[in-house]
Structure 1
Amino acid sequence: MLATPGRLPPAAQDARWAYETKQDGQRAVVYLPGDGTLLLRARSGEAITAAYPELQPLGEALGRVPAVLDGEVLALDEQGRADFQLLQSRMGLAHAPARAARMAARVPVHLILFDVPYLEEPLFTVPYTDRRGLLESLALHGPYWSTPGAVVGHGAEALRATREHGLEGVVCKRLDSGYEPGVRSRAWIKIRNRRAEDVIVGGWLPGRGRLAGLPGAVLVGQRSADGRLRYVGGVGTGWSGTERAELAALLRAAETGTCPFDPVPPVANAHWVLPRLVGEVNYSTRTRAGLLRQPSWLRLRPDLTPQESSSSCASACCSSRSTRPCCTSRCPPSPRTSS
């Protein structure tokens, strides 16, 4: 069952919904036949059991009770937050069990469980609240798996808590909803926390197909504490056709043969420009190298000069007292709340 992107339910309906933390990992369905074994399948249907050998003991957790569990495989950073970049080192090893075992010792994963569509019998038509009660009664808490709680009501507070702790967002689940396999349902709504920052345009990549002759993506950076323009990624979405054409004219006028980024990013076929255009982008989080994940263009900032934009957040963790969105994703979180 898949969630639909959306917004928080209206305040008048808040008590009809449960709120779970949205995790940044690999979705996995866990098949427990009741014989001590388990089978993990990704959303694609691919068997990924061998990629995560540390999860094998979960097969014995329910004894001879057959079950199907729904969850998310995570790799956690030093603060206990999901780090998709870490997880990537574990993904794709289903056909390399020896390497998977070595990586499990270096980067262990943690399986978050949030639903039980089958427990001795199908539970597809059973309401979420009852399925959740059954899941929690199984007491599945181990060294590499757990069943985090969900909060009923208080959706705005739950979303705010995930934002304050640098988490990906929330999933809102209607209390009376059944489990709809393979359906992207309005009974589950996902809300991602997006952060916005100013960036300096330092180059662009040519578009293809219908975008031929226009920028397919702009290459952006931010000033580090020592004044260098550090590359933070490419942005290829967020423009209307008119905005993309206007941006193309600005980029052509600023073209130069010298890369303004230090160090020069390994980007093929790049066109460099003088770093004088400032824009605002939003994004989900940063990689450990400081690159923006899932960036999208918001607007040009003609009111800002390159010297006025950006901070040194691209290269160093800032004060945990700062309220800039980048800081909430990079600095150690404050103690967690019950939400």
Structure 2
Amino acid sequence: MLATPGPLPSAAVEDRWAFEVKQDGQRAMVYLPGDGTILLRARSGWDITAAYPELLPLVSALGARSAVLDGEIVALDDQGHSDFERLQQRMGLAGAPARAVRMASRVPAHLMIFDVVHLDGRLLTGLPYAKRRKVLEGLGLAGAAWSTPAAVSGHGAEAWEMAREAGLEGLIAKRLTSRYEPGARSKAWVKIKVHRLADVVIGGWVPGHGRLTGLPGAVLVGERHDGLLHYAGSVGTGWSRTERTRLAELLQAAATDTCPFAQAPPVAGARWVLPRLAGEVRYTSRTRAGRLRHPSWHRLRPDLTAGLA
């Protein structure tokens, strides 16, 4: 069951929803048949069990009971927040079990369990979320490499503010009465991202293709530190066609043969511009190298343009 992007439920109806922290990792279904074995499957259906050997002891947590659990495999940073960049070092190792064992000691994975869809031979998908959640919490699944994150009923605005202040990616709101819909992207689960804003300078762009032929497909942006423009990422969304057409005119007028970034970004087909166009970008988080994750264009900032060139 997948969540649909949307706004935070209003205060008038928030008591009908539960709120969980949005984890940034690899979604996984966990199959525990009760015979001492465990199977982890990614959203693609691939068997990823061998990639995460630290999760194998989960079989002992339920003993002979059988279950199918839904969760997110994450790698935690120093603040205990999920860090997708760290987890990427662990993904794709299902075919290299020896390397997965070595990496488990360097970048340990953690399973955040947030739903139970089958237990002791009984299918639970028809139960409302509130009842499934009670069953899940009753299992007491807490270990060195797995846990059951908290869910708060109501108080959505407070939960969102806490997520924002803690630097988390966002929330998942789940309707208390909702059934589990396997494979569906349901409006009964809503993902609300916490967006941050950054002031950036456009240093280049990449031509679009298809319906965007003749227009910028993405702009290459940077941030100034110590008098130098450091590359912060590529932004390809957030404009209407009219806005993108206007942006194309501004980029053509600022064209230059010289890369304005302190280090040229490894972007094929990049075209450079004088660093005089400033803007504001929404993003969810940053990589350790300072790159913006999931950026989208918010607006031009002509008030910041003066003196940039």
TM-score range relative to shorter protein = over 0.9
Conservation of the 8 A alpha-carbon contact between 2:114 and 2:148:
yes
CA–CA separation in structure 2 for the residues paired with 1:45 and 1:207: 33
SS in 2 for 1:303: helix
Conservation of the 8 A alpha-carbon contact between 1:37 and 1:60:
no
Conservation of the 8 A alpha-carbon contact between 2:276 and 2:307:
no
CA–CA separation in structure 1 for the residues paired with 2:124 and 2:116: 7
User: In the TM superposition, what whole-angstrom CA distance separates every residue of 1:56-107 from its partner, at most 9, and x where no partner exists?
Assistant: 0001211111100010000011111111000001001111111111111110
Conservation of the 8 A alpha-carbon contact between 1:275 and 1:306:
no
Conservation of the 8 A alpha-carbon contact between 1:203 and 1:272:
yes
Give the alignment's TM-score, normalised by structure 2. 0.97
Give the alignment's TM-score, normalised by structure 1. 0.89
2:135 alignment counterpart: 134
1:325 alignment counterpart: none
CA–CA separation in structure 2 for the residues paired with 1:22 and 1:306: 39
Conservation of the 8 A alpha-carbon contact between 1:35 and 1:60:
no
2:18 alignment counterpart: 18
1:293 alignment counterpart: 293
1:11-160 to structure 2, matched below 5 A, reads: 11-120=11-120, 121-160=122-161
1:211 alignment counterpart: 212
Q: Read off the aligned partner of 1:287 and give its amino acid letter.
A: T
Conservation of the 8 A alpha-carbon contact between 1:75 and 1:87:
yes
1:270 alignment counterpart: 270
SS in 1 for 2:231: strand
Identity of aligned residues (%): 67
1:320-339 to structure 2, matched below 5 A, reads: none
Q: Read off the aligned partner of 1:178 and give its amino acid letter.
A: R
Q: Read off the aligned partner of 2:7 and give its amino acid letter.
A: R
User: In the TM superposition, what whole-angstrom CA distance separates every residue of 1:11-44 from its partner, at most 9, and x where no partner exists?
Assistant: 1211111111111111111000001111001111
Q: Segments of 4+ in structure 1 off by > 3 A?
A: none
CA–CA separation in structure 1 for the residues paired with 2:69 and 2:45: 15
Conservation of the 8 A alpha-carbon contact between 2:115 and 2:133:
yes
Q: Which runs of 5+ in 1 are unaligned?
A: 309-339
User: In the TM superposition, what whole-angstrom CA distance separates every residue of 1:282-334 from its partner, at most 9, and x where no partner exists?
Assistant: 011111100011111111111222658xxxxxxxxxxxxxxxxxxxxxxxxxx
Q: Read off the aligned partner of 1:49 and give its amino acid letter.
A: T
Conservation of the 8 A alpha-carbon contact between 1:200 and 1:306:
no
1:199 alignment counterpart: 200
SS in 2 for 1:12: coil
Conservation of the 8 A alpha-carbon contact between 2:223 and 2:232:
yes
CA–CA separation in structure 2 for the residues paired with 1:214 and 1:8: 34
SS in 2 for 1:11: coil
CA–CA separation in structure 2 for the residues paired with 1:239 and 1:160: 27
Q: Which runs of 5+ in 2 are unaligned?
A: none
1:123 shift after superposition: 0.4
User: In the TM superposition, what whole-angstrom CA distance separates every residue of 1:164-209 from its partner, at most 9, and x where no partner exists?
Assistant: 0000111111111111111111111110111111110001111112
Conservation of the 8 A alpha-carbon contact between 2:237 and 2:297:
yes
1:333 alignment counterpart: none
Alignment RMSD: 1.1
Q: Read off the aligned partner of 1:299 and give its amino acid letter.
A: R
CA–CA separation in structure 1 for the residues paired with 2:207 and 2:180: 44
Conservation of the 8 A alpha-carbon contact between 1:34 and 1:65:
yes
Q: Read off the aligned partner of 1:166 and give its amino acid letter.
A: G
CA–CA separation in structure 2 for the residues paired with 1:166 and 1:241: 32
User: In the TM superposition, what whole-angstrom CA distance separates every residue of 1:96-135 from its partner, at most 9, and x where no partner exists?
Assistant: 1111111111100010001101111100111111111111
CA–CA separation in structure 2 for the residues paired with 1:218 and 1:28: 34
SS in 2 for 1:160: helix
1:156-195 to structure 2, matched below 5 A, reads: 156-195=157-196
SS in 1 for 2:46: coil
SS in 2 for 1:134: helix
Range with greater deviation from structure 2 (10-19 or 65-74): 10-19
CA–CA separation in structure 1 for the residues paired with 2:281 and 2:306: 15
CA–CA separation in structure 1 for the residues paired with 2:211 and 2:4: 29
CA–CA separation in structure 2 for the residues paired with 1:64 and 1:154: 38
Q: Read off the aligned partner of 2:146 and give its amino acid letter.
A: W
